[in-house]
Amino acid sequence: MPAGIKDVAAQAGVAVGTVSNYLNHPELLSPTMAQRVADAIDEVGFVPSSAGRQLRLGVSSVIGYLASDIGNPHFGEVAASVQNRAAQLGLSVFLADPQHDEEREATYLDAFAQHHVRGLLVASHHQVEARLALLRRRGTPSVLVGQHAASPEQPSVSIDEVAGGRLAIEHLAEVGCRRVAFVGGPHSIVQVAARRAGAETAARERGIAFEAFDVAERSVSAGRGIGEAIASRPPHERPDGVFAVNDLLALGMLRTLTAEGIRVPGDIALIGYDDNEFAEASLIPISSVSRRHREVGEIVVDALFETIQGRPLAAVHQQLMPVLVPRESTLGRRRA
């Protein structure tokens, strides 16, 4: 039985409306009253109920951010800029991380909708558009992050992942690789599939040998596994350039490759994806493809804000071009 506005009113000997005014329109109150109400609030330990408020008002000032994997540093970097921008606009952000579990993802989406968040930022690896369309019809707007939406109704902000894959391979080609490998998976993840498609096309265009290593999760330890697989081949059967679908994989590979005496980039040039902090911090800094997390975070919040306000978006689907960030794990090869 938490104290409510009524208890405060009783304690202060005023009407409930007066307490409400103290909370929301303090300028209407005489200083005397204000003080009395303030004291009463303190005495009864009153916490405004957002349930009550929302019920009456129909809205909250919270936006929901559904993230696919908080463990990945790339996410943290986007999240930071989202939070900052949202704070500037007077919005709070509640995060939820379904941990790759598609069912839990749906649960969280519903939870957000039921909490009547103002809007949703959704960074998913699954096909969520149908579900988002439903929520939108039910009154919760959303912006899809990092995935190009198909529907003209569904705002989205994404990176051209096909171009990203292409960028990586073209860079490998430029530093002299003739036989490249793509490391990533699973293909059900749209971004992974797109990067691979771009990579494969680029390789074909340049007449470079292409092969793919499949991986169940995009983690450091998965990278190690593939690194070992490559190291165990006879040298002339190894690729001379590897494109890992994210930096975590690249990091893991770098570790086993060098441990097995394979020189990076001398024997194998290595490029990752995401441009996260650890790619740069590595002993052999890893080349990567930046998804421009800071910009994306801001754009995405702005787009959601516009949508919430009911203003039409200049561009429903914004697609940013990824940026190559060459570092020693590929560049060093030129010297060789």
Q: Are 227 and 270 in contact (CB under 8 A)?
A: no
> What is the distance of C-alpha 297 from the center of its chain?
8
Residue closer to its own copies (CB basis): 58 or 312: 58
Dig out the tokens for 86 from the structure: 């949202």
Give the interface with DNA as residue ranges (CB under 7 A).
1-2, 4-6, 13-21, 23-25, 28-30, 32-33, 46-49, 51-53, 55-58
Residues 194 and 181: their CA atoms lie apart, in Å, by 15
Residue closer to DNA (CB basis): 53 or 238: 53
Q: Which stretch binds its own copies (CB under 8 A): 8-16, 136-144, 146-154, 175-183?
A: 136-144
Among 255, 292, 294, 317, binds its own copies (CB under 8 A): 255
Among 30, 32, 114, 309, binds its own copies (CB under 8 A): 114
Among 16, 33, 284, 323, binds its own copies (CB under 8 A): 284
Residue closer to DNA (CB basis): 33 or 209: 33
Q: Are 142 and 153 in contact (CB under 8 A)?
A: no
Residues 110 and 329: their CA atoms lie apart, in Å, by 44
How many Cβ atoms from other residues are within 10 Å of residue 277's Cβ? 13
Q: Which stretch binds its own copies (CB under 8 A): 13-21, 145-153, 282-290, 315-323?
A: 282-290
Among 27, 30, 31, 138, binds its own copies (CB under 8 A): 138
Residues 270 and 250: their CA atoms lie apart, in Å, by 7
Residues 309 and 155: their CA atoms lie apart, in Å, by 14
201 binds, among DNA, its own copies, none (CB under 5 to 8 A by kind): none
Q: Does 220 help bind its own copies (rule: CB under 8 A)?
A: yes
Least distance to its own copies, CB of residue 65, Å: 9
Q: Does 62 help bind its own copies (rule: CB under 8 A)?
A: yes
Q: Which stretch binds its own copies (CB under 8 A): 102-110, 155-163, 173-181, 198-206?
A: 102-110
In sequence order, the β-bridge partners of residue 181 are 211, 242
Residue that is written with structure tokens 């990945």 in the block = 72
Q: Are 229 and 223 in contact (CB under 8 A)?
A: no
Q: Helix, strand, or coil here: 202?
A: helix
Residues 295 and 307: their CA atoms lie apart, in Å, by 18
Dig out the tokens for 269 from the structure: 């040039």
Least distance to DNA, CB of residue 239, Å: 57
137 binds, among its own copies, DNA, none (CB under 5 to 8 A by kind): its own copies
Least distance to its own copies, CB of residue 262, Å: 12
Q: Does 261 help bind its own copies (rule: CB under 8 A)?
A: no
Q: Does 198 help bind its own copies (rule: CB under 8 A)?
A: no
Eight-class DSSP state of 312: P
Please list, residue by residue across 211-237, b when 16 or more beta carbons sit within 10 angstroms of its beta carbon and e when fewer do. ebbebeebbbebbbbbbeebbeeeeee
Residues of this chain that interact with its own copies (CB under 8 A) are 2-3, 45-55, 58, 62, 70-73, 75-77, 79-80, 83-84, 87, 92-97, 99, 104, 107-108, 111, 113-116, 135, 137-140, 219-220, 224, 251-252, 254-255, 258, 277-278, 280-284
